[in-house]
């Protein structure tokens, strides 16, 4: 997969882009909040993107070894990245660098 100039990898993220890190953080957070992995529709609603965009990201995350899925089984995403390596989820456009 070629990367766009704005999606350069940062060494502190252990190989995933900022956008991939946000999807991984969402998967982790959702699974811990609801005790089951998210469906692609959940990610689509959260990130406000199209269904094909979410599916392509899931395929990319799986191909790069960040997640594992069971074929034909819904909500089967398993995170393969240690939680301590995940970025903070940008929830509701909160910017931690700005003071309240």
Q: Write the CATH number for 46.
A: 1.10.10.10
Tokens matching residue 53: 């965009």
Indicate whether 93 belongs to any domain: no
**Which residue has better confidence, 11 or 27?**
27
Taking the C-alpha atoms of residue 73 and residue 75, their distance in angstroms, rounded to an integer, is 7
Structural domains counted in the chain = 1
Domain span at 25: 15-82
Residues 28-59 pLDDT 10s:
999 999 999 999 999 999 999 999 999 999 99
Contacts of 74 (CB under 8 A, 6+ apart): 39
> How far apart are alpha carbons 15 and 17 in whole angstroms?
7
Q: What is the mean pLDDT of residues 17-29?
A: 96
In whole numbers, what is the pLDDT of the chain averaged over residues?
A: 84
Residue 87 lies in a domain: no
Q: Is residue 100 part of a domain?
A: no
Provide the token pair at 30. Answer: 């959702």
89 domain residue, yes or no: no
Residue 58: inside a domain: yes
């Amino acid at each position: 997969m070629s990367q766009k100039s704005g999606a350069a990898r940062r060494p502190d993220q252990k190989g995933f882009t900022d956008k991939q890190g946000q999807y991984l953080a969402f998967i982790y957070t959702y699974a811990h909040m609801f005790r089951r992995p998210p469906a692609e529709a959940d990610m689509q609603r959260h990130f406000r993107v199209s269904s094909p965009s979410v599916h392509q990201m899931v395929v990319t995350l799986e191909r790069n070894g960040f997640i594992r899925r069971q074929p034909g089984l819904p909500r089967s995403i398993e995170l393969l990245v240690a939680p301590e390596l995940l970025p903070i989820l940008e929830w509701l456009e909160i910017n931690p660098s700005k003071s309240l």
